[in-house]
Amino acid sequence: MSKAEIIKPYKKEHETSYALGAYATFELLDTKPELLRNVYLHSACAEPHKLLEKCSEHNNIPAVWSDEVFRRVSQKENTYVLGVFDKYTNVLRPDKAHVVLAHPADMGNLGTILRTLAGLNLLDLAVIAPAADVFHPKTVRASMGSLFRLRFAVFESFGAYREAYPAHAAYPFMLDGKTLPDVLGWEHNPLFALIFGNEAIGLGSEYASFGEAIRIPQSTLVDSLNLSVAVGIGAHAFAGKYGLIE
């Protein structure tokens, strides 16, 4: 039996996941090559030479040509590279700022947030369960492989996160919180946790007791901003204030 024949559609209980697309696979090769089991290439893959060279450089990671793998795993017709990698665990750094997502449900939003946080140099993400699967190929693809540049951890509750990291000043983003410009005048504290809620219901009222609640000003034409947009706005303000980006 060939290696291509044992690849099956992703399930959360599996020990492995897939990086779909050349960009995500290159990110995996650049950041965590030790996790890669195989790289698969479609016959329509253009200019595979650089990818093959990378695989060779990293202990000869097997590169297999197989169109069948893509029919089984990917719903995207334009996916011509796929990396099979082992799932792994992280520990958030206690000396770095955190972003906390309470029950994010959409894998596309989660992946977009991962990429945004990498771009803002906010590299520690706490996810409060139940939540979208960080390792789902849709999440990995939406992140453009930025998942592999972040440290992330899943917690069973927000209380479990706070118990693990009590020193971080908590800033829940809520519709009835303070306006974002108020944050910019606060005393410098690089240990902060920016907390964002679920796409449908946001954060519960109890989160206001955990720290200074922040509100992103918006018009009355919509009831709320998309979660990935809200995270981008809030995280950018803090990253700029505390010198994480130029």
| Segment 158-195, tens digit of pLDDT | 999 999 999 999 999 999 887 776 666 666 778 999 99
Asked if 25 and 81 touch (Cβ cutoff 8 Å), the reply is: yes
| Segment 199-215, tens digit of pLDDT | 999 999 999 999 989 99
Q: Was domain 98-241 assigned CATH 3.40.50.280?
A: no
54 pLDDT band (50/70/90 cuts)? Answer: very high
pTM for the structure as a whole: 0.93
* pLDDT score of 181: 63
Q: How much is the mean pLDDT over the chain?
A: 91
Q: Which segments of the chain belong to CATH 3.30.1330.30?
A: 3-86
Q: Which of 11-25, 73-87, 168-182 has the highest mean pLDDT?
A: 11-25
Asked if 62 and 120 touch (Cβ cutoff 8 Å), the reply is: no
Mean pLDDT of 208-225: 91
Percent of the chain with pLDDT over 70: 95
Within 10 angstroms of residue 121's Cβ, the number of other Cβ atoms is: 16
Mean pLDDT of 99-127: 97
Domain 3-86: homologous superfamily in CATH: Ribosomal protein L30/S12 (3.30.1330.30)
Asked if 30 and 23 touch (Cβ cutoff 8 Å), the reply is: no
Nearest to 192 by CA among 146, 119, 154, 242: 242
- 76: pLDDT strictly greater than 80: no
- 1: pLDDT strictly greater than 70: no
7 pLDDT band (50/70/90 cuts)? Answer: confident
* pLDDT score of 21: 94
- Estimate to the nearest angstrom the gap between the alpha carbon of 185 and the chain centroid: 29
Asked if 39 and 81 touch (Cβ cutoff 8 Å), the reply is: yes
- 85: pLDDT strictly greater than 80: yes
Q: Which segments of the chain belong to CATH 3.40.1280.10?
A: 98-241
Mean pLDDT of 105-125: 97
- 97: pLDDT strictly greater than 90: yes
Ranges of H-type helices in the chain: 22-31, 49-57, 67-73, 107-119, 137-142, 158-164, 227-241
Nearest to 66 by CA among 35, 39, 102, 33: 39
* pLDDT score of 4: 45
221 pLDDT band (50/70/90 cuts)? Answer: very high
- 2: pLDDT strictly greater than 50: no
| Segment 132-150, tens digit of pLDDT | 999 999 999 999 999 999 9
